[in-house]
Structure 1
């Protein structure tokens, strides 16, 4: 199955044009500056409000005030009649986020907040799959466990301080746990992974849901193959970097789908696989500097400094658009809206990644793409640092707890 899916979407990739026809409206320089002022005002006001933590009887009013500031910012900047925040909050994402953070505190009280939010990203992807399947959006044992597996395993496999030999030995033990066999964990990290696999086994019985565990073995195999991307600079065509990228990304969200539904139809598996492919490519684009410096080869870092990335980004954008144009499943009103959000947010992430890597593109291309951005590219860099400097880990958790009250999105007018 995995070879068939990989071949299908590699063929789509190679057949996708590299000429880009921008459909987004241009955003004037004056409008960009106005948007930046709004964001700066929002950041400062939000900081002040968060620091004025109220007494118990005023807490609900305070929560609504914070939520309204966040929502007004979104609507004002995106000029959208419908709030994306409302869509996700009313769908139950907030409650799931709160439940997830609470469960992490019990499972691993010392987990770093940024590792928590790495895991939450996958929780939200699995919540989006629940929406596509018209299922209740909630935190299941499998969603918690699969989303937590990869801060533990990914961070270990990406650690340059760990030898390839140790990573290979760890992967062998990991595979044994996924197969339901006994293998002694060697440290706290491995003990946690072992516990998470057992939680999935409690949610999906191995004899009944064989494809769930096959999907976990598929992503594990893809992770093993991805080790050849590390610690050695390679030329295009020397190793199958793009094949590894497609397999790893596609397998990851394919496993998401199985761990949400238990089994998938052919068209559903195809959707999940391609969803994972373009998320992986965007992730590689965002990490190109770090990957190149660490000799971690991706389709971007492999050609970094040799060619401008203009055309490959055009191909990526066109690939995403062509995928959504072709797919014919998940047609409910809510699913259609979610697919449009995924498509648009993917492009925003691409724009933000381009802004961080301007030297890797031609001046003409930067000018073309930046003309469609809601803020100047130079501001993208500044705002991330400013938000990280302004808001503490406690503030981030507090904001999530505020967004977790799904009724706020309904009550605020």
Structure 2
């Protein structure tokens, strides 16, 4: 099935036009400036609010409400949504899930870096979004925890330029054995964590009953193995099947998300998960184009980054995402429709942000045209990221996430 799905989305990709056709309205320069001022005011007000130290539960609750109000007001002021998306996610339990996940991480691996925790949380939220699509209870299951933790460990190892390809190949062999239910001996603490996480998945999904769950995990693992081809040397387009590897790696990642949420998927559901994963992977590669090029990690962007402008590829990507959502008819509840719109809009914002930090890779005319659809100026993306990083530590961000939980609002980290 993975080959069929890869071929299906490759076919859609090749048929997708590379002429820019934005599905969103233009936003004037004056409106952009207004949005930037609103974000600046929000940043300063949030910083002042977080300096308050609650002395009791009532003050803690008041502080949580104050933070929540600031975030909601900022979102409503600069978004085009009729209802608050923050409310949507909080009402569906995202705040509680975030707090619960962080607590579980601390129990599982107290030495895990905050950056890696955030990397894992991103996948937790994707799997929570799949629960919403199915109208399931949004909760942190053993498999959601385990799968979201697997890839900060393995991804960081496989992306480490200081580790030889040979070592990575040997590690992947042991990882495959664990996914197959074999008891290969872990060689270090990181491998022991991965082994234990696979066991958590086995505890929730019995291998004989849910064979497709483990087939999906083997699918993403195989794609990870193939992606090592991308790391060995700089290659030319058509020298190696980089685009096929990209589609398979991205597609199998979210396909596994779906199986680990639902246990069983029908064909249409599997197609949705795979396509969702494909465009997330391409966006991720766009965000990392400079780093990938410098590290000789070949993607559809880094392969040509020093030879051609990326204008037409990004137009193709935007059209590909819009085509995906325009043709998607699997999940039709009101919640699902709302969530799909949010995913589509957030994808555009991630692409805009990636373009803003890689301006030299695009023509000036293209930047001007696509920037007209952004809620802020491209120059502001970089500024606001630096300002937020300077103003708020990663611990502050975790504290904010926990304040959005409806139970305990502050944790020690």
TM-score (norm 1): 0.97
- The Cα shift of 1:281 comes to 0.2
Gaps of 5+ in 1: 409-413
Aligned 8 A contact 1:231 1:294 in 2: no
Aligned partners of 1:99 and 1:139 also within 8 Å: yes
Q: Secondary structure at the match of 1:267?
A: helix
The corresponding residue for 1:15 is: 15
**Residue 136 of structure 2 aligns to a residue in which SS?**
coil
> Aligned ranges for residues 101-250 of structure 1 at < 5 Å?
101-250=102-251
1:342 aligns with 2:350: no
Aligned position for 2:24: 24
CA-based RMSD of the aligned residues comes to: 1.2
Q: Counterparts of 2:377 and 2:193 in 1: how far apart (Å)? A: 43
Deviation of the 1:94 alpha carbon = 1.1
Which 10-residue stretch deviates more, 330-339 or 399-408? 399-408
Structure 2: tracts of 5 or more residues without a match: none
CA shift digits 1:33-67 (9 cap, x unpaired): 22111111111110111011211131111110011
How far apart are the structure 1 equivalents of 2:25 and 2:177?
52
Moved over 4 A (4+): none
Q: Does 1:399 align with 2:396?
A: no
Whether the 8 Å contact between 1:67 and 1:403 is mirrored in structure 2 is yes
* Equivalent pairs, count: 408
Tell me what 1:5 maps to. 5
TM-score normalized by the length of structure 2 = 0.97
- Whether 1:281 aligns to 2:282 is yes
Structure 2 matches for 1:62-73, cutoff 5 A? 62-73=63-74
Contact 1:92–1:406 under 8 Å retained in 2: no
Separation in 1, partners of 2:340, 2:371: 24
Contact in 2 for aligned 1:89/1:406 (Cα 8 Å): no
Contact 2:213 / 2:256 at 8 angstroms: preserved in 1? yes
Structure-2 separation of matches of 1:23 and 1:179? 44
Distance (whole Å) between structure 1 residues aligned to residue 328 and residue 283 of structure 2: 20
Query: How many Å separate the matches in 2 of 1:38 and 1:255?
Result: 39
Partner of 1:369: 370
Question: How far off its partner does 1:406 sit?
Answer: 8.2
